[in-house]
Amino acid sequence: MESSRPLGFDLVDGLAAYAKLALPLLSQAVMEGRLKQFVVEASVPTISYPNYATIISGLDPKDHELIDNDHRRRLTSDHFFKRLHRDGMTSAVVGFHWWEDLLGGDLPPSKLYEGEDTPDHWVFEQAEVIATGLHPDFLLVHPMGVDWAGHVYGGQSSEYLAAATRIDREIHDFWKWWQLRMKGLLVIGADHGMGPGHHHDVNSLREQQVLYFVDSDGHPNVDLRRQSQVQNLLSMLMGEGV
């Protein structure tokens, strides 16, 4: 099966729903009807590795059994990348190196980075390089700059909100490029939010509530309230049904 339009998924690490006030361009796109916004509750624990696993498998941590960031075992259940591969669709990943731990041999062509302070701008540049070279049906773009600012300065800091505003601009620029050059659809989301301190492992609403923004051209008429439903949304936008 071939999807008519490629799908990009900007997974912004650590972007809490309350940071929406620092996202002027995405907020404007919602007001103008170009993006549809969803408030999504991340699975518990609200930490990256289990949340990545839930996003791509549709399973809660009690079922995929990946519950911390330290023992980064491979995801053994069925997941979105496997499904695309089975259906003859191509993927690519630009993201943090933990994707290799999570996906193992199922990792598609990728550009991974190690430093959590890797500039988001570099991540989006690599996304354009890999998209131009491979024309994947699905492209995951995973910047860490917002999460890093939250850990260093705290979730209520001006630095955290400034990082959110920077990613707002990066995503908006990437979206324009992705539409123009790849004729692609875009989904924007996050793995977890950020607490008022320097962590996101307390499972409060600040950590659990994240936003998803979906390109209105994709007609995202789906129920999207929980992180385990994200892969249904991605499948629907890839033309695979849910």
Question: Which residues sit at the interface with Zn ion, rule CB under 5 A?
Answer: 13, 48, 147, 191
Amino acid at the residue 134: L
Q: Shortest Cβ contact with Zn ion: which residue?
A: 48
Of 170, 210, 172, which Cα lies nearest the Cα of 19?
210
| Adjacency order of strands within the sheet including 35-41 | 35-41, 209-215, 185-190, 7-12, 138-141, 91-96, 110-113
Closest approach of Cβ 84 to Zn ion, in Å? 23
Q: Which is nearer to Zn ion, 120 or 191 (CB)?
A: 191
Residue with smaller CB distance to Zn ion, 13 or 215: 13
Helix axes 158-182, 120-134, angle to 10 degrees: 20
Q: Which is closer to Zn ion, CB of 210 or CB of 238? A: 210
Percent of the chain as helix, strand, coil, to the nearest 5: 45, 15, 35
Q: Which one, 101 or 147, has the nearer CB to Zn ion?
A: 147
State in angstroms the smallest separation of the CB of 223 from Zn ion. Answer: 24
* Distance, CA of 226 to CA of 219 (rounded, Å): 19
The DSSP output letter for 50 is: H
How far apart are alpha carbons 44 and 58 in whole angstroms? 13
**C-beta of 75 vs 185, nearer to Zn ion:** 75
In whole angstroms, what is the distance from residue 119 CA to residue 20 CA? 21
CB of 83 to Zn ion, least distance (A): 23
Least distance (Å) between residue 144 CB and Zn ion: 8
Of 175, 213, 190, which Cα lies nearest the Cα of 36? 213
Q: Which is nearer to Zn ion, 20 or 36 (CB)?
A: 20
Closest separation in Å from C-beta 146 to Zn ion: 9
Q: How far is the CB of 104 from Zn ion (least distance, A)?
A: 20
